[in-house]
Structure 1
Amino acid sequence: MKKRTSIIDGIVFAINVLIAFLLVMSCLSSYLTFQAIPVFSILSLIVPLVFGLNLLFAAYWIFKRKRKFLWSFIALLLGYLAFGPFYGMGNESEEVKDSDLKIMTYNARGFDKFGWSKDPNTGNEIVAFIKKENPDIICIQEHSRIRHRQLKQYPYRSETPYSETKSVQAVFSKYPIVSNGSLDLPGTANGIIYADIVHKEDTIRFYNMHLQSFRIVPSAKTFSDGEESERNYKRLISTFKKQMEQAKTFDDHIKNSPYLNVVCGDFNNTQFSNVYRIVKGDLNDTFLEKGSGFGRTYDLWKIPLRIDYILTDSNFEVISHKNFNEKLSDHYPVMATLRLSSEE
């Protein structure tokens, strides 16, 4: 019996070391600005799962009063230092002032114009949701141009130029848009647009980002079928590489921005990736400031992922952050309330 227990512990420990190693490699990969070992880029999608497994292994060895728990403990410590908290504790929101800005980002999936939801009223429900929440500025990814007719509360808007054969994005604003533009992202249907918006005496540049999409429909067959699994693996690696190129293009652009900056959008990657780290730079993540729970904006194989973000310059104080549960698109909307430090 003792020998069998020893064999089981040996197998558990071997798996434990592997899982701890994966978490450490995830930490290291997130700091690289290139794909050193492509397969490690994929780990950013499952970091919460790897965290959870390491917690279980640490608990197992502590229960058995063995020092082997240190393998997972050290990996978890490194993970925390590298990624910070990824579960928001819901810091108390402050009282909202009339001068504060309510910002929403939402991948609306074309307002369901291709009928993915099988409900012909979904597009109108998305419009109704936006009207109900009434953000001052909303950045929409996968927009449908005709929907501006239903969003009359926004006198100003900027959209992906008609000349660009890309998925349409839009910035709707209650405040004047004085200039706008888009970044050149070759070889993709995704894109980044920006709008310079005057709010009181300040001009704020709002970036609306939609980074490279995976174009993989999650299913049991996705990574179990031999040939399809290989194709999807190559597609994932190619997508991460393209996202990193796009993140660097954005980073070069924002460094030359003459204004205060707010970055919204669907990054198609998690906060554990080097793509997120490049885009975020010195910006503040509103979820990390005021969010609660996992901040889920997308479900992948029932794993709650946070891939939609609102990032701000340090000149803004984050008053509140909210993740919605409205299942009207394949993404969930996000909203934050911001206050300029000059208005306190």
Structure 2
Amino acid sequence: MRLLKYLKKLFFRFNILFGVLLLLSCLVPYIPTDMVPVAAIFSLSIPLLVLLNILFLLVWLVLRKRQLWLSLIILVIGYFSLNSFFMLRFADKKVNESDLKIMTYNVRGFHGINHGKRDDDFIRLKDLISEENPDIVCFQEFNYLKRDDFKNYKYKYIEYIKNQNKVKLGIYSKYPLLTKGLLDFPGTSNDGAFVDVAYKNDTIRVYNLHLQSLQVVPNPEVLAREESSKLYTRLSKTFKKQQEQARIVSEHRKTTKYKTIVCGDFNSTQYSNVYKTIKEGDLIDTFQEKGSGYGKTYNFEYYPVRIDFILTDTDFEVIAHKNYKEKLSDHFPVMASLRLKTH
């Protein structure tokens, strides 16, 4: 009996510890990662902290103990401060043919994930895009040699960069492209691109981003073998670069008068200041509006990481958002259906 009482006390202490950590995590989006890199690393743990606090709540609920109020209050505060990383929805509005469908996809150079079956994965990837039939596709880690393989798209922007270390970006569109350009992130192999699209009787600006790569193998066992100090140093440098790139995107976005969509691989979660900097103003996260489930976009084993986004300004209504589960890259594609609002 005494042992049981001791275990309950110990369990409650852990409950307090992880509850406090979740509350502290509510501050993470407001901390620039170039000033406090550990904040961005902390942001990666937020889904785990949420799950742990849900577990504590369920245990106290089963035991019918008043300690459940601690976890419940913390989870409510976390929900309204951070937004949910799990969305529960049962139906979307009907997507019309006239709605704009946009997809973002880090394709990993079309190398696939099946050893020795690269061509098979590429064929399946092309079939997926053909079936889903988005109006605009933004590729990250694009393979320039595949530039003519997407026949359904009359217009495209793939800047050939002589620097072999620079990651290629590809934008394909069924609508004419008026203006094209690169953001040219300094001192990095990553980059951002933008196009102005003639859509119906309007012009929209589309950004395709690939922020600084984490260079992390998506396997817990591999990560556990890496020296923690080396991992921290590498991630700190990465998050500092991402913050710099996020500011470049934010400043560039202020120069356009057009309706705007920002999409791509941010290599950072929705809880980071990097995400907050890009999203600042009136941009809407299509997953938060119409997504369901965890919205996992990166194939990290056993952990729901969302680092690929489609953000749109308030001139668009988000009709639908879809996350895919096809394992044809280390990322999963994301697609949103948007409708221009009539004023």
TM-score (norm 2): 0.92
How far 1:65 sits from its partner (Å)? Answer: 4.6
Alpha-carbon distance in structure 1 between the residues aligned to 2:71 and 2:102: 39
Q: Which residue of 2 aligns with 1:285?
A: 285
Q: Is the 8 A contact 1:190 1:210 kept in 2?
A: yes
- Superposition pairs of residues 194-343 of structure 1, within 5 angstroms: 194-225=194-225, 228-281=227-280, 282-342=282-342
Distance 1:129 1:65, change over 3 A: closer
Task: Return 5+ residue gaps in structure 2 as ranges.
Answer: none
Q: Secondary structure at the match of 2:194?
A: strand
Q: Cα offset for 1:83?
A: 1.6
Number of matched pairs: 340
Partners of 2:33 and 2:39 within 8 A in 1: no
Query: How far has the Cα of 1:209 moved from its partner?
Result: 0.6
Q: Matched residues in 2 for 1:197 and 1:51: separation?
A: 40
Residue 193 in structure 1 maps to residue 193 in structure 2: yes
Measured against aligned partners, the alpha-carbon deviations of 1:178-221 in whole angstroms (never above 9, x if no partner) come to: 11111131121111100111012111110001111111113344
Larger mean CA deviation between 42-51 and 206-215 belongs to 42-51
Contact 1:205–1:260 (CA<8 Å) still a contact in 2?
A: yes
2:327 alignment partner AA: K
Asked whether the 8 Å contact 1:91–1:290 carries over to 2, the reply is: no
Q: Is the 8 A contact 2:147 2:158 kept in 1?
A: no
1:252 is paired with a residue of what secondary structure? helix
SS of aligned partner of 2:32: coil
Q: Residues 15 and 36 (structure 1 numbering): CA distance in 2 closer, same or farther, change over 3 Å?
A: farther
Matches of residues 21-100 of structure 1 in structure 2 within 5 Å? 21-34=20-33, 37-90=36-89, 92-100=91-99
Instruction: State the SS of the aligned residue for 1:292.
Output: coil
- SS for the counterpart of 2:204 is strand
TM superposition shift of 1:124: 2.4
Query: Residue 155 of structure 2 corresponds to which residue in structure 1?
Result: 156
Superposed displacement of residue 238, structure 1: 1.8
Counterpart for residue 177 of structure 1: 177
1:157 alignment partner, SS class? strand
Q: What's the CA shift string for 1:90-116, capped at 9, x where partnerless?
A: 363233333211111111111117x76
Q: Which runs of 5+ in 1 are unaligned?
A: none
Return the letter of the residue paired with 1:273: S
Does the CA-based 8 Å contact 1:25-1:40 persist in structure 2?
A: no
- The 8 Å contact of residues 91 and 289 in structure 1, kept in 2 or not, is answered as no
Q: Report the aligned-residue RMSD.
A: 2.1
Look up the SS of the partner of 2:277 in the other structure.
helix
Change (3 A) 1:219 1:320: closer
User: Which region of structure 1 is more displaced relative to structure 2, 186-195 or 51-60?
Assistant: 51-60
Instruction: Give the equivalent residue in structure 2 for 1:125.
Output: 124
Q: 1:109 is matched with which residue?
A: 108
Q: Is the 8 A contact 2:28 2:271 kept in 1?
A: no
CA-CA distance at 1:87 after TM superposition: 1.8
Please say if 1:145 is aligned against 2:127. Answer: no
Shift in Å, 1:59: 2.8
For the 8 Å contact 2:105–2:332, the answer to whether it is kept is: yes
Identity of aligned residues (%): 45
Provide closer, same or farther for how the CA distance between residues 220 and 327 of structure 1 changes in structure 2, counting only shifts above 3 A. Answer: closer
- Per the TM alignment, residue 77 of structure 1 is displaced from its structure 2 partner at its CA by 1.8
- In structure 1, what is the Cα distance between the partners aligned to 2:323 and 2:127? 17
Q: In structure 2, the residue corresponding to 1:54 is in which secondary structure?
A: helix
Question: Take 2:72 and 2:93, find their aligned partners in 1: how far apart are those partners?
Answer: 36
**Change over 3 Å in CA distance of 1:313–1:131 after alignment to 2:** same
- What is the deviation of 1:36? 5.5
Q: Partner letter of residue 335 of structure 1?
A: M
Q: What amino acid is aligned across from residue 185 of structure 2 in structure 1?
A: L
- The separation in 1 between residues aligned to 2:9 and 2:292, in whole angstroms, is 38
SS at 2:299 equivalent = strand
Other structure's SS at 1:72 match: helix
1:219-276 deviation line (CA, Å, top 9, x unaligned):
3444434x63321122122212221111111111112212110111011121122211
CA contact (8 A) 1:222 1:232 kept: no
Task: Between 159-168 and 101-110, report the one with greater CA deviation.
Answer: 159-168
